[in-house]
Each structure stands twice: as C-alpha cells, then as structure tokens.
Copies of this chain bind each other. A is one copy, B any other.
Amino acid sequence: MTHFPFSPQLTSSSFLRIGQLSNVDLNEDIRELETELPRQHPNEIPHNEKLLSLKYESLDYDNSENQLFLEEERRINHTAFRTVEIKRWVICAMIGILTGLVACFIDIVVENLAGLKYRVVKGNIDKFTEKGGLSFSLLLWATLNASVVMVGSVIVAFIEPVAAGSGIPQIKCYLNGVKIPHVVRLKTLVIKVCGVILSVVGGLAVGKEGPMIHSGAVIAAGISQGRSTSLKRDFKIFEYFRRDTEKRDFVSAGAAAGVSAAFGAPVGGVLFSLEEGASFWNQFLTWRIFFASMISTFTLNSVLSVYHGNAWDLSSPGLINFGRFDNEKMGYTIQEIPIFIFMGVVGGILGALFNALNYWLTMFRIRYIHRPCLQVVEAMLVAAVTATVGFVMIYCSRDCQPIQGSTVAYPLQVGGAGERPSGVGGETRPCWVLWHWTSRSVPSAAGRPGSPDLPLVILSSLPPQLFCADGEYNSMATAFFNTPEKSVVNLFHDPPGSYNPMTLGMFTLMYFFLACWTYGLTVSAGVFIPSLLIGAAWGRLFGISLSYLTKGSIWADPGKYALMGAAAQLGGIVRMTLSLTVIMMEATGNVTYGFPIMLVLMTAKIVGDYFVEGLYDMHIQLQSVPFLHWEAPVTSHSLTAREVMSAPVTCLRRIERVGTVVDILSDTSSNHNGFPVVESNPDASACRCCGMVPDSLFPHQVFVERANLSLVQRRLKLKDFRDAYPRFPPIQSIHVSQDERECMIDLSEFMNPSPYTVPQEASLPRVFKLFRALGLRHLVVVDNRNEVVGMVTRKDLARYRLGKEGLEELSLAQT
C-alpha cells in the first residue's frame, strides 16, 4: 500500500456532499412520510399498495472488482479454475440429492400422519354414525386439525416468520436481487419443513409443493457456502463461492431442484428458475441447474420406490404425479380448442376473483392481524372451519355412488388390504392410503372397464364409505376427506360418473373460499395444489356438462377437462407462463397436451391480467418490496437518470479520515450501502468519480483489526471479507478512539476502480436495462466531466410503475 501524503486541504468536517443540483431530496421525502405516519399504532398499521419499503436492501450481483479480488483472480491459474468448476458441479449434485431427500421426508411423514389422522377420524365417524352423536366426531376432527395447525402456526409466527406461505415470492425477490433477512437460513428450512407437514396434516386447503422451492433454495445457499449461520459451523470449504453472484446461481439451482422434486418436472424447474430469477442466461449455469434438478427428481424417485417396496420402479418422480394421461384414449381434436380457450377465460376470471379477494384479506391482515398470537388464532380458526365445512358437506351430500361400479376399474388391490371395506371395520386396516392395481386404460365414457392386460400402479385411495350404505361410497368425501394431492389425481382419473355435478359444484364453491382464506395465513403452505384442485373440480363439472349437452360423446372425457380446468385455474392465480406449461406437461408425463395447456394458460393470463395481477406479484407489492420487473415501464422514456437518481450522495475521498468514514457508516440516513470514491487532489475536479466502495466490502475489518498506526496498514486479504460474508459486523459494534479517528485510510485497495456509470441524460429504460441486466446494486450517475451527481439504486427504479392511467410513482416508506 502506498502512503499518500496527508493533504491539508481536506477538511475533517462532516461529509462530502455533491450534486446539489438534483431535484429529488430523498431524505426530505422520508422525513415527511415519517411525520405523516402515526408511530406504532397498537391495533392498526396503516398500509397501502402504493408504497415502497426502504427496509429492503439489495444484493450485489456484480462482482466488486477491487484490488484484492483482482489480485486473487490473477493468481489463480487455468487448472485451479477447473477445480472451481468441478466444485460447482459437486455442489449442484449435493443440492439435488438433499432436496430430493427433504421432499421424500415430507412426503413420507405427511402420508403417515395424514393416514393416521383420517383413520382415527373415520373410525370415530363410523362409530358415531351407528350410535348417534356425530357432533363429537365433528368436534374431534376440528380439534385435531386446529391443534396440529396451531403447532405449525406457532413455530412460524414466533420462531421464523419468513417461513410463512409458499416462499415463492421470497425466492423471486431473492433471485431478483432483494435481500430478505433470514430467507436462506437453516432455521428457516427446519421451520418450513415442519410447518408444511403440520399444515397439510392439519387439513388446511394447502399443498406441500410450493414450499419445496423455498426448501431447495435454502439447501443450495447452505451447501454452497460451506457453513451454517444457524449452527454456527464453518466447514472451511467452498470459500470461493462466498459472494452474492455465486450464491445466487446456486440458489437458482436449489429452486429448480425444488420444483423438480415437487412436480417431477426437471425442465420445468430450470425454466422456473430462469423465468423468475436469472436475468443473464449462461449455458453452463443452465446446464448445472438442470443437473441439480435431474438429480433431485431421481433421488426422490429412487427413495420413494424403495420405500414403497418396488425398488427400481421409478414411477414417482415428484411429490405430486398427475397419473398417466393416455394420449390415444384422451387425445384432443382441433374442434375442442375453442372450448379450451373458453376454459382459459373462466380460469382467468376465477383466478382474478381469487386474487382480488386475497388482496383485501391480506390488506386486512397487514393492518389488523400483525401480532403473532392473533395470527396463530386465525390459523386455528381456519383449520377448524375447514374441518367443519368438510364434515357438513360430506354429511349433507347425498352423492353416494355404488362402490361396485367404481371398483370394477380397480380389479386387484394390493398392499395388505385386498378385501373391500365392509361396515365399520375400517380402523383395523394398516394404512388408509392404499396402492391399487388399476387398468392402464381409463374406462371409456360408457363406463365399460378397459382391457386389463397392461396393469399400471397409480397412487389412489380407497373410496370412503362415510354416511353411505354398505357397498357405496361418498363421492364428496373422496374430494374432502383426503390430502389435496390425492383429490386432484382422483378428479383427473376417476372414471366418468364418479361424481355428481352437484357435489362438484358445491365442492368448487366451498374450496375456493377456503383456499382463498388460507393463503396468507402464518403457516408454511403452498397454493399450487389448492388451485389445481379448484380447477380440476370445475373443469370436471364442465366436462360432465359438455357430455350431457353432446349426449355423452367420447371426446368429452371429464378427466381431460379436469386437467384443463386445473391448468386454467392455476394459471389464472399465479400467472406463470412457459415454466408452468412445462411443469404441467411434465407432471402429466405427456407432451401431446402441450399445445392446449399453453393456450389455456395464455388465455387465463391475458384475462386475469386485465383485472388484477398475479398472486405472487401482488404479495410482493403488498410487502412494498422494491422488485424490478423485466423492463422499465414502456412510457418512461421521458424520464432521465437525473430525475430518478438519489442526490445528494455521500462520497468518500480516496484517502479519507477514519473518523469521517465511521461517521458516514453510522449515519443511517445518508447510508446508501455504497459510496462513490472521488479523487483526493484538491483542484477543481475534486468530485471526479474514480471508484466505488459497497459497504459489504467496506473495510469494517480495518477497524476491527486496527493497529495504532498513522495509516491503517495491516494487509487485508479477500478471505477476511469472505469469512464475514454475508453478515458484516455493524460499525456501531466497533469502538473507535479519538486518536484513531484522526488516522487516514487509503481506500484504493477496497474500492472497485471501474464502477458502472451512466451519464445524467440517459433515459430511464436505458438505466434500467443496465441495472437489471448486470444485477447491480448501485449505479453512479455522472456528468460529462465524470463528476458524481447522484446515484441510482434499486428503489429509484422500482418506484416507477405502469398504472391504469400511465406512469405512476410509489411513495417511499420506512415500514
């Protein structure tokens, strides 16, 4: 390090503030807003959707190429880079394996616990159906559900609130570059996994698929860093990957592995990661992500096949499998395409309705139900209501189908329960969930059994007899008295005539409201499966109606329409595009349906977008997260960098007094988490930009390890920063004496000498493109003499939005 002479012209007073010409004074804005908002109102938190929170920081997906970094990179030779590359592959394999194992764990535990619960409840109902006093059964069911959900809700609300929900919005934000505290911690993973098991077992209208994405991401973040903050263990491996860029890439792989394990959709997983996160497509990265996804579904498949006793069978690639759609029997014709498009419209409208209702509910929750105990109470209430609704619906439903007509299609029952259930003997069966042999060909519309020569194992459930006469089963119960995954598969594959239209209609209606109420509760749970279930129910209803209208013609197979309805409803709610199409294609194991599914999803998205945005985007916006979309609003060419930037901006000089640095870092109001470095020489061009120091690479270490020298001199290594990443000690934790404050520090070593800059005349779309494509955290705005006039950060770009009446600007809030 060279010793620069101390320049007497440098005043040691306050900060260097430049660029006073700016028309936006950020701090003023915040101060105004703060005075407007009432402080910590006990019962109600005011909130609206046109706010942008200042509490979210940005991740830095641009390597800060400071001297330390460059020195290290230049030391590494070609062979060492190959080792790094091999490590990346190893990490991806580990991510895949662990994600697959976590999915197996969830699947097996849920299956056993849910089986146990339904066995207990069904036994109880069967007992009281004979003796009278069914209200006890209802009470038992509701209490069981509520208490299980209570545990699930308590761990989320009190231990790790970020584990609530599906985690998809959080992962979207993370991949977008927003730092959400605790989102990829081991503790979050544990709470998430336990929470999702408890929610599903608690009978809520939720799925266990969405949370797998979050779980995969946490696993990836943990493995790739070679340590755990929650466990306080550092394995001293993979240190090269301890920076935002590398971590993000692995988190993409983890999210993809999660999708892959959830739906058996490795390609869909890759596309999900790319669609939601990656802004820069890199062939090698994508290939690694795909590798992780494949390993994940393969692991799940292998372990589950061993668990189910038919090793090497490899027939369950995901947590949910839609079962086999046979494209000869269930092909579609061109005439059906308008019908599918109509279903897409219905799905879009219903999805928009779902989102709008959930919007009001969420707003209500943010305002009034913000205390953990209230959140737990609400979750318990929902659990109890769900059980009650299910019970009442099953009780009131008079849709008893003869078990004979249905089980002809299931000629052979294996798994220790070959005998048909008779009377109340249900409790003695070892497991309520059974494996059936069923004919591979779904019976045709006339109800004739298919040829039984090619048997195929699909996961199904023995139809429950509840409240029906012997030899009959309750078709409402096949939908309600079951985990939602199995209900979806039943709706897809049960032969025509298994459900009465009234049952399906009532089920759709009730489940729609239940699912809508459930999403956003403080429990770990996903919305994919409930959406599919609602859609499958009305889709099947639609198919049955068509069948009536066309006098039972062969093409109106209700299972096919259930699939299209499910796609339409899910598309209408989440509004994903390519990735969802591929996920659905892979989950059906059939590429023939690709075209109609695409049409349905496209229509649902267009129609839905007309009314209200997608559920995940809506929640991101309600959280006031500064999320950057793909492009700047189309009509924003009239804005320039000068108008959007934050100014004045706090700059540091290349050689700066330690006291000044400490003061700047301590003052949160002027802290942009990154500081342009300007030339120290005291001529007219003092403000000329010559570098950039993000606070993450800021030499906190310098202060920690400081020696009593006139210039802080200990040679820092990149390792010092890597060991601290990602939680650098706050400046407040360091005591700096008065003497030390007078020392000078040379920032040359820590600053990035070639930060990206834009001229102040650049239009907003241009700034946006640069910022988004390179994943920046700070972008320095300079004039044509390269003098710093301001800085563009994430919130400056995220606050412009295309509203109904054109460009609108969000207010900044401290919440």
Contact = CB atoms under 8 A, between A and B. Distances in A.
Contacts of A281: 274-275, 278-281
B595 A294 contact: yes
Contacts of A756: 770
A754 interface: yes
Q: Indicate how many identical chains form the complex.
A: 2
Interface in A71-92: 73-74, 76-78, 81
A635 B78 contact: yes
B786 A784 contact: yes
A432 interface: no
5 contacts: A267-B578, A267-B581, A282-B630, A689-B784, A754-B766
Interface string A611-642: 00000000000000000001100110110010
Given A282-B631, A454-B328, A782 B786 contact: yes
B591 A630 contact: no
A690 interface: yes
A806 B328 contact: no
Nearest to A267: B582
A758 interface: yes
A267 B581 CA distance: 9
Given A266-B595, A286-B578, A756-B770, 17 more contacts: A65-B763, A78-B635, A267-B581, A274-B281, A279-B280, A283-B578, A283-B630, A284-B630, A290-B581, A290-B598, A294-B594, A453-B453, A586-B591, A689-B784, A754-B761, A754-B766, A784-B786
Contacts of A585: 267, 591
Contacts of A244: none
A307 interface: no
A494 interface: no
B291 A602 contact: yes
Contacts of A630: 282-284
Query: Interface SS of chain A: helix, strand, loop or mixed?
Result: mixed
A754 B70 CA distance: 28
A688 interface: yes
Nearest to A755: B759
A757 interface: yes
A334 interface: yes
A270 B271 CA distance: 10
B754 A759 contact: yes
A4 interface: no
A286 B275 contact: yes
A410 to B, nearest CB: 18
Nearest to A302: B334
A689 to B, nearest CB: 7
A685 interface: yes
Interface of A: 63, 65, 70, 73-74, 76-78, 81, 264, 266-267, 270, 274-275, 278-284, 286-287, 290-291, 294, 297-298, 302, 312-314, 317, 327-328, 331-335, 440-441, 451, 453-454, 456, 577-578, 581-582, 585-586, 589-592, 594-595, 598, 602, 630-631, 634-635, 637-638, 641, 679, 685, 688-690, 753-754, 756-759, 761-763, 766, 769-770, 773-774, 782, 784-786, 802, 806
Given A451-B453, A631-B282, A759 B753 contact: yes
Given A283-B630, A598-B290, A70 B763 contact: yes
Contacts of A328: 440, 454, 456
Contacts of A770: 756, 774
Contact of A688 (B679, B762, B785): B785
A274 B285 CA distance: 13
Nearest to A289: B578
A632 to B, nearest CB: 11
**Which residue, of A284, A454, A689, A754, has the highest number of chain B Cβ atoms within 10 A?**
A754
A405 to B, nearest CB: 23
A358 to B, nearest CB: 22
Contacts of A634: 76, 78, 81
A592 B314 contact: yes
A594 B785 contact: no
Contacts of A685: 785
A81 B802 CA distance: 12
B806 A78 contact: yes
A267 B333 contact: no
Contacts of A440: 328
Contacts of A754: 641, 758-759, 761-763, 766
Nearest to A602: B291
Given A314-B592, A689-B784, A291 B635 contact: no
B635 A81 contact: yes
A617 to B, nearest CB: 11
Nearest to A280: B773
A638 B594 contact: no
A73 B761 CA distance: 15
Contacts of A753: 759, 761-762
A799 to B, nearest CB: 18
A298 B590 CA distance: 16
What 5 A-B pairs have minimum CB-CB distances, sorted nearest first? A754-B762, A786-B786, A73-B637, A81-B634, A287-B577
A278 B283 CA distance: 10
Given A65-B763, A769-B774, A773-B280, A74 B287 contact: no
A356 B302 CA distance: 39
B286 A598 contact: no
A82 to B, nearest CB: 9
Contacts of A63: 766
Contacts of A763: 65, 70, 754
Nearest to A278: B281
Contact of A280 (B270, B280, B451): B280
Contacts of A582: 267
Contacts of A782: 786
A702 B761 CA distance: 25
Contacts of A451: 453-454
A806 to B, nearest CB: 5
A283 B275 contact: yes
A267 B440 CA distance: 27
Contact of A785 (B282, B638, B786): B786
Given A78-B802, A281-B279, A784-B679, A594 B266 contact: yes
B589 A592 contact: yes
A778 to B, nearest CB: 15
Nearest to A775: B773
Contacts of A270: 578
Nearest to A276: B283
A28 B290 CA distance: 47
A453 B440 CA distance: 13
A750 to B, nearest CB: 15
Contact of A77 (B283, B284, B806): B806
Contacts of A298: 595
Contacts of A65: 637, 762-763, 766
Nearest to A326: B454
A73 B586 CA distance: 41
